[in-house]
Amino acid sequence: HRARSMPPETPSRPRAGPRMMSNTPIPIINFRTNSDFPASKLPASMCMELADHLVPFDDAEYSSCTLLKGRAERVLIPWDDHLAKEMDYAPCVTHDGVDYMVGTIEDGGLLVPHHHQSGGRAYWLQSKLHNAIYGQVRYGTVLQKIHEPLQVMLPPPPSNDASSSSSKEPEWTSVKLIKWMATTEAVAIKEMSWEHIRSQGAQLAEDPIKEVGAMQYLQNWVNANANHQGLSADDPHRDITPENNHIMMLMDLLSDDDHLYSITPFAKHGRLLDIIEGKSRFSEPEARYWMRQILTGLAVLKNAGVTHRDMSP
């Protein structure tokens, strides 16, 4: 139904100019970018008034890696009844008294770091989660290298040929060398194209080089301050550890000729934005639950001397 009457029009007022902060000539403005601080629109003479020390993040240190191409690899996967039902072909082997399924890493799905800190770790690149500005984000699994590769005989895949005799024994003639074992640790792998970064980086606000530099700085800062030096016994930040600081930490930063790979833990419950869009409203306990985590993360950033200027779910 149409309203019987409309509210009276509000007289138009002249648009106000930039508000001024007290005791400073700097106007409060909306920054046009979320990657550079201060924004390029702000004159350099005003920059020093916004922060005592404008210290850029150090350049990130990438470790070289190899994305194996041209062949598939076999991998041991801890036995899981549900997963075995989903796989078309899941032969079982026993290693050190434990049952495993034998899976296949498709061509281009195995990312192997070269740095010695990896301890024989690699990453299995699997399904695509979503697009990213410079590439895509993929679901992955952490792999551990087997010290002594296994030679196993696998049965051929089941045949759909109705004419084949069901009483005929399968020929176990396929001998495979298995070098990798899957762990239960899931990761998110942000795969960014170097070509796209170099050609489009200057035209976009998001800067992946600064992003990974900031993440690496935070990782190093949290690790260095994990013993809480200088905090009093009643300081609430004493309970914050690298495992519960509510910041998505960088696990690995790898690079080859084609891509930059930023690897973080996989958030299996998805994004907060997805939860917000799926609910009409939060109850007070739910709101406190999420806000406590957000504020804890912001407190860690503040202690590290970092400001987050693009808060959004």
- Cis status, amide bond into 38, omega within 30 of 0: yes
Give pLDDT, residue 256: 94
Token pair of 36, please? 């550079």
Nearest to 143 by CA among 66, 69, 75: 75
Q: Are 111 and 142 in contact (CB under 8 A)?
A: no
Give pLDDT, residue 308: 77
Give pLDDT, residue 85: 72
Give pLDDT, residue 168: 58
Give pLDDT, residue 192: 94
DSSP summary character for residue 145? E
- Give residue-wise pLDDT tens across range 86-96: 776 677 888 88
Give pLDDT, residue 236: 54
The segments of the chain whose pLDDT lies below 50 read 1-42, 47-48
- Give residue-wise pLDDT tens across range 213-255: 888 888 888 888 766 555 555 555 555 565 667 888 889 999 9
Give pLDDT, residue 13: 39
CA distance 293 to 299: 10
Which pTM was predicted? 0.72
133 Cβ contact list (under 8 Å, min separation 6): 204, 206, 208
Give pLDDT, residue 7: 37
Q: Are 245 and 300 in contact (CB under 8 A)?
A: yes
Residues in the chain: 313
Give pLDDT, residue 272: 85
Give pLDDT, residue 36: 41
Q: Are 87 and 101 in contact (CB under 8 A)?
A: yes
In a 13 Å sphere around the CA of 93, the CA atoms on its Cβ side amount to 20
